[in-house]
Chain A
Amino acid sequence: MAIAETTRAQMREVLDRYPRKRSALMPLLHLVQADEGFITPEGVTLVAELVELTEAEVTAVSSFYTMYLKRQSGRVRVGVCINSLCAVLGGDEIWDALVDHCGTGNNQTTDDGAVTLERIECQAACTHAPVMTANWEFLDDMTVEKAKQVVDDARAGRPIQSTRGPAVRSFADAERTIVGVDDGLVADGDHRDDRILAGLRLAQQNGDAERSAEAERRGAQTVKGN
C-alpha cells in the first residue's frame, strides 16, 4: 500500500515544527501507522528519507516504543489496564473475561479482524479504575459486562462512546489526532465527572471554594497595586 498524498502533506507539516529534522521521527512514525496500520518497510523507507537517516536507524527507534506496531491490528484496539491498582480493582477479571469472550490473547486479533486485545499499563486514570481504552480513548469505571459490550459493539461495527472523550474512531484517525492534526472533536466528551470534580464540589459545599477565591483576589490586588 502506498502512503497517501494527504499523509505525506501532514508529514511535511510535522517536519516544520522542529528545529532539527530528526526530532520529527516519532510523529512521522505515528503517521505511518495512520496510513498503514503498523510500521511497514515502506513507511520506514519514507521516514528515513524525510529525516535523512538510514532505515536501520529508523527501525532501531521504532522498535523501542510499544505504540509502534509490528503487524496489522483489528479495527479496534481494546486495551485493559493491568497495572496493580486497576488489576486489583477488577482489571484482571475483565482481562480474563475478554480473553474468554474473544478467544484471543494479548496482542492478538479476533478472527473477524474486529478487535485486538492488549494488556496496557497505567493510563493516568487510576481514579476511574478499572480502566480500559478503545483506540486509546478512555473507557472508565469498567465492569466485565461493559467490557464485553465494548467488544460486541466493535465486532458488530456499532459506535462505542468513550468516557471523557468522543465516540471511538478508527485506529488511523486516532494516530492522526496523536500527532496533533485537528479532528474537530475537542469539544466532544465532557471532562466533568464525579471523580474529576470531587474536590471542587466538596469545596463549594463547604464554602472553601469562595474562601480560596477571596484569598486569591486579595493577593492579586496586592500584587497589582505594587
Chain B
Amino acid sequence: MPLTPVLSAHWDEADSYTLDGYRRHGGYDALALAFAKQPDDVIQLVKDSGLRGRGGAGFPTGMKWGFVPQGDGKPHYLVVNADESEPGACKDVPLMLANPHSLVEGVVIASYAIRANHAFIYIRGEVPHAIRRVASAVREAYAAGLLGQNILGSGFDLEVTVHAGAGAYICGEETALLDSLEGFRGQPRLKPPFPAVAGLYASPTVVNNVETIASVPSIVTNGADWYTSYGSEKSPGVKLFAVSGHVERPGIFEAPMGTTMRELLEWAGGMRKGHRLKFWVPGGSSVPLLTEEHLDVPYTYEDIAAAGSMLGTGTPMVFDETTSVTRAVTRWLEFYKHESCGKCTPCREGTYWLVDLLRRLESGVGSDDDITRINEVSAQIAGRSFCALGDAAATPFPGAMKYFADEIALGTHTAASDLYDPVAATVLAGVNA
C-alpha cells in the first residue's frame, strides 16, 4: 500500500497552519465549489464518497447529515468534536496544530450542507497550542470573509465559536458534549432523540469528529470517485494513522483504509531493536487488543470487526514482550473509573470494583475468584450502561483474557512487576535496564 498524504500533504511547511500556507495549495477552493452546488447535492456527494466518522464509531457522515430535518424553522448547529481524549488517540490534535484551516473549511462546507448558521469547535481544554492555532485560523477566516456574513458572496452566513473543555473524557461522547456546551455537567443524554433531530438547545445538530470534517474539502475538490478509489467498498478513503509505543519510529502515517498493521509497523521502523510484538490495540483503549496473528488484517471497519476488535480512532498502540498486559489493562481501568460520569450504577460501581480486583491481580495477591468476578462485573457493565463509556470500560479485560489468560492467572501469586521488569519496558535513556 502506498502512503497517501492528503490532509498531511503540506505539514512539512513551517506556515502550513496559516491561511497563506493553506491557500498556497488550493485551500478554500473547495468552498467555492461547494457554494456552486445546492446544499442537498453536497450531502449527496459526501454520501457518495462513503466517508465514515473518524471519531470511533464509523457512522456514515453523509447519512448523518441527511437526518437533519430541513425546512423545520429551527436553527441548526454543527458541533465539531475535538475532545480527543481516548487513550491512544493522537491524530486530531496534530491536525489542529498543523492544518487547522482544513478543519475550518470543512466546517463551512458542512454547515452550508446541513444549513447551520452557527458552528462550534469543542476542543479539550488541556491543549492550549491546538486552541491557539484553531482560534487563530478562525480569526484569519473571519478577516478574509471566509466566515461571517455572506461568505464569498454566497448569501450564506456562518458564525464559528471555539469552545474549550475542562478535562472530562466523557465530554467526547456526543450527547455529554452537548450538555457540556450548554453549560451543564457533561453527562450523556438518553438516545433517541438523536442529536440530528434534537441536539444543541434541542435543535437539529450534527456532531462530527475533527478528522471527519477536515476530510470534506478534499472530497469536494476531488470528487466522490477519487475518495472511493481508496480503501474498501464499506470503508473508503484515506485516514490518519498514528502509531505509538514500542516501535523504532512512532509517528503519523496517512494512508488508505485497508492498510495493514504489518505495513504501518514497517513504516514505523519495526519493533524497537531486539524486541518482538506482544499485542497492539487498533483504535484507542476502548477496543479489544489484537496480537501478531492479526498483523495482516486490513484496517477497515469490517475486517477489524471480523478479527474481534474495532477500528476505533485508527491509532494503534504497540506493546512488546516487556509489557505486562495486566498492568496495562489495570491502568486503563483506572482511567475509566476516574472518567465515569457517575450517572448510572453499572458503570460507576462496576469500574470501582474492576479497579479493585485488577489491582489485586497486578500486585500478585489475586485469586481465581477475582478473575471470575472481573469477568462477571465486565459482563454486567457491558450493554447495561447508559452510554458507550461503560461498554468501553468492559472491553480491555475480556479482550486481554482471550489471548493472555495464562499470564493474567499468574497474578494470583506473582506481582506484575516481578514478572515484567517495568524498567525494561521503558524507552528512557539513562535508566539502566
Contacts and interface: CB of A to CB of B under 8 A. Distances in A.
Contacts of A220: 26, 221-223
A71 B6 CA distance: 45
Nearest to B2: A208
Q: How large is the interface on B (under 10, 10 to 19, 20 to 34, 35 or more residues)?
A: 35 or more
Interface stretch (B150-158, B161-169, B352-360): B161-169
B128 A165 contact: yes
A126 to B, nearest CB: 4
A136 B427 contact: no
B129 A189 contact: yes
A125 B425 CA distance: 19
Nearest to A226: B223
A90 B98 contact: no
A199 B184 CA distance: 40
B162 to A, nearest CB: 5
B131 A180 contact: yes
Given A22-B182, A215-B226, A200 B33 contact: no
Interface string B104-140: 0000000000000010000011111101110110010
Contacts of A200: 3, 5, 8-9, 11-12, 254
A25 B4 CA distance: 42
Given A85-B317, A206-B2, A199 B267 contact: yes
Interface in B206-236: 218, 220-223, 225-226, 229
A84 B87 contact: yes
Contacts of A183: 132
A25 to B, nearest CB: 4
A198 interface: yes
A85 B166 contact: no
B371 interface: no
Contacts of A197: 11-12, 251-252
Given A93-B431, A182-B135, A199-B3, A219 B183 contact: no
Interface string A44-80: 0000000100000000110011111000000000000
A124 B93 contact: yes
B393 interface: no
A222 B242 CA distance: 32
Q: Among A88, A128, A166, A196, find the residue whose CB has the most chain B CB atoms closer than 10 A.
A: A88
A136 B127 CA distance: 6
Given A84-B332, A126-B90, A208 B3 contact: yes
Contacts of A60: 185
Nearest to B161: A17
Given A26-B183, A124-B85, A191-B97, A216 B218 contact: yes
Contacts of A123: 126-127
B306 interface: no
Q: Among B132, B135, B268, find the residue whose CB has the most chain A CB atoms closer than 10 A.
A: B132
Given A121-B335, A122-B88, A129 B244 contact: yes
Interface string A178-220: 1110110110011110111111111110101101110110011
B429 interface: yes
Interface stretch (B55-63, B323-331, B373-381): B323-331
A190 to B, nearest CB: 7
Given A84-B332, A144-B430, A208-B2, A125 B90 contact: yes
Contact of A90 (B33, B268, B323, B427): B427
Given A85-B87, A122-B85, A195 B250 contact: yes
Contact of A192 (B14, B139, B327): B14
A18 B161 contact: yes
A83 interface: yes
Interface of B: 2-6, 8-9, 11-12, 14, 16-17, 26, 33, 75, 84-90, 92-94, 97-98, 118, 124-129, 131-133, 135-136, 139, 161-169, 180-186, 201, 218, 220-223, 225-226, 229, 241-246, 249-255, 267-268, 285, 315, 317, 319, 323, 327-329, 331-332, 335, 338-339, 341, 422-423, 425-431
Interface of A: 17-27, 29-30, 51, 60-61, 64-68, 82-85, 87-90, 92-94, 120-130, 133, 136-138, 143-145, 162, 164-166, 174, 177-180, 182-183, 185-186, 189-192, 194-204, 206, 208-209, 211-213, 215-216, 219-220, 222-224
Closest 10 CB pairs of A and B: A198-B251, A199-B253, A219-B226, A219-B222, A65-B166, A22-B183, A25-B183, A126-B244, A203-B3, A90-B426
